[in-house]
Chains A and B, each alone.
Chain A
Amino acid sequence: MTDASNIIISVKGLKTAFGDFVVHENLDLDVREGEIIAVVGGSGTGKSVLMRTILGLNPAREGAIRVFDTDILKADERDLHEVDLQVGVLFQSGALFSSMTVLENVLAPVREHLSLPWELQRDLGAMKIAMVGLPRDAANKFPSELSGGMRKRAGLARALAMDPKLVFLDEPTAGLDPIGAAKFDELIVSLKDSLGLTVFIITHDLDTLYAASDRVAVLADRKVIAVGPLDEVRETPHPWIQEYFSGPRGRAALKSNGTVSGRMPEKSDGS
Chain B
Amino acid sequence: MNAPGFIREERDDTIFVRVEGDWILENGLGRIDKALRQLSMDSLNQNLIIDLDGLGLIDTTGAMMLQRTMRHCGKRESLTDLLHGFQGGNGRQRKLIERAASVLEDCPVDAPRPSQFIILLDRVGRSAENMIADGLAITSFLGQTLVTLVRVLSQPKKLRMTSLVHHMEESGLNATLIVGLMSFMIGAVVAFMGAKILSQFNASIFTVELIGISVLREFGVLLTAILIAGRSGSAYTAQLGSMNLNEEIDAMRVIGIDPMEALVVPRVLAMVLVLPALAFIAAMLGLLGGALVSWTVMDISPALFLTRTQDAIVIENFFVGLVKAPFFAFVIAVIGCYQGMSVEGSSENLGKRTTMSVVQSLFLVIVIDAMFAILFLELDI
Interface residues, chain A, with chain B CB atoms under 8 Å away:
98-99, 110, 113-117, 119-120, 122-124, 126-128, 130-131, 136, 142-145, 160, 162-163, 190, 193-195
Say how far B76's CB is from chain A's closest CB, in angstroms.
16
**Cα–Cα distance between A195 and B103 once the two chains are bound (Å):** 16
The residues in B between 18 and 69 inclusive whose CB is less than 8 angstroms from any CB of A are 24-26, 29-30, 33-34, 37, 59-61, 64-65, 68
Q: Are B108 and A98 in contact (CB under 8 A)?
A: no
The chain B residue with its CB closest to the CB of A113 is B26
Given the known interface contacts A117-B34, A120-B30, A124-B61, the answer about A144 and B96 at a Cβ–Cβ threshold of 8 Å is no
The chain B residue with its CB closest to the CB of A125 is B105
Interface presence of B209 (CB below 8 A): no
The chain A residue with its CB closest to the CB of B26 is A114
Which A residues lie within 8 Å of B61 (CB)? 120, 124, 127, 163
The residues in B between 328 and 360 inclusive whose CB is less than 8 angstroms from any CB of A are 344-349
Q: Are B348 and A194 in contact (CB under 8 A)?
A: no
Interface presence of B263 (CB below 8 A): no
Say how far A126's CB is from chain B's closest CB, in angstroms.
4
Find the residue from A110, A124, A160 having the highest chain B CB count within 10 A. A124
Which A residues lie within 8 Å of B365 (CB)? none
Interface presence of B249 (CB below 8 A): no
Given the known interface contacts A130-B105, A144-B345, A190-B99, the answer about A115 and B30 at a Cβ–Cβ threshold of 8 Å is yes
Count B interface residues, CB 8 Å: 31
Which B residues lie within 8 Å of A163 (CB)? 24-25, 59-61
The chain A residue with its CB closest to the CB of B97 is A194
Say how far A130's CB is from chain B's closest CB, in angstroms.
4
Q: Which of B100, B105, B345 contacts A98 (CB 8 A)?
A: B345
Q: Are A131 and B103 in contact (CB under 8 A)?
A: yes
**Cα–Cα distance between A144 and B247 once the two chains are bound (Å):** 11
Q: Are A142 and B345 in contact (CB under 8 A)?
A: yes
Which A residues lie within 8 Å of B68 (CB)? 123
Q: Are A99 and B347 in contact (CB under 8 A)?
A: yes
Which B residues lie within 8 Å of A130 (CB)? 102-105
Interface presence of B95 (CB below 8 A): yes
A interface footprint on B151-183 (CB within 8 Å = 1, 0 otherwise): 000000000000000000000000000000000
Say how far A136's CB is from chain B's closest CB, in angstroms.
7
Given the known interface contacts A120-B30, A131-B60, the answer about A195 and B96 at a Cβ–Cβ threshold of 8 Å is yes
Q: Are B108 and A126 in contact (CB under 8 A)?
A: yes
Interface residues, chain B, with chain A CB atoms under 8 Å away:
24-26, 29-30, 33-34, 37, 59-61, 64-65, 68, 92, 95-96, 99-100, 102-105, 108, 245, 344-349
With A116-B33, A120-B61, A124-B61 already in contact, 19 other A-B pairs whose C-beta atoms are closer than 8 Å: A98-B245, A98-B346, A98-B348, A99-B349, A114-B30, A120-B33, A123-B68, A126-B105, A126-B108, A130-B102, A131-B103, A143-B346, A144-B245, A162-B25, A163-B25, A194-B92, A194-B95, A194-B99, A195-B59
The chain A residue with its CB closest to the CB of B351 is A99
The chain B residue with its CB closest to the CB of A115 is B30
**Cα–Cα distance between A117 and B61 once the two chains are bound (Å):** 13
The chain A residue with its CB closest to the CB of B108 is A122
Say how far B32's CB is from chain A's closest CB, in angstroms.
10
Q: Are B33 and A98 in contact (CB under 8 A)?
A: no
Given the known interface contacts A124-B64, A127-B64, A127-B104, the answer about A142 and B346 at a Cβ–Cβ threshold of 8 Å is yes
The chain B residue with its CB closest to the CB of A116 is B30
Q: Are A127 and B26 in contact (CB under 8 A)?
A: no
Q: Which of A113, A127, A145 contacts B100 (CB 8 A)?
A: A127
| Cross-chain pairs A/B with CB under 8 angstroms, 23 sampled | A98-B245, A98-B345, A99-B347, A114-B26, A117-B34, A119-B33, A120-B30, A120-B33, A120-B65, A122-B108, A124-B64, A127-B61, A127-B103, A127-B105, A130-B103, A131-B60, A145-B345, A163-B24, A163-B60, A163-B61, A193-B95, A194-B96, A194-B99
**Cα–Cα distance between A136 and B33 once the two chains are bound (Å):** 22
**Cα–Cα distance between A163 and B26 once the two chains are bound (Å):** 10
Which A residues lie within 8 Å of B245 (CB)? 98, 144
Say how far A26's CB is from chain B's closest CB, in angstroms.
36
Given the known interface contacts A115-B30, A117-B34, A124-B64, the answer about A136 and B105 at a Cβ–Cβ threshold of 8 Å is yes
Which A residues lie within 8 Å of B102 (CB)? 130
Q: Are B64 and A123 in contact (CB under 8 A)?
A: yes
**Cα–Cα distance between A244 and B105 once the two chains are bound (Å):** 42
**Cα–Cα distance between A113 and B27 once the two chains are bound (Å):** 12
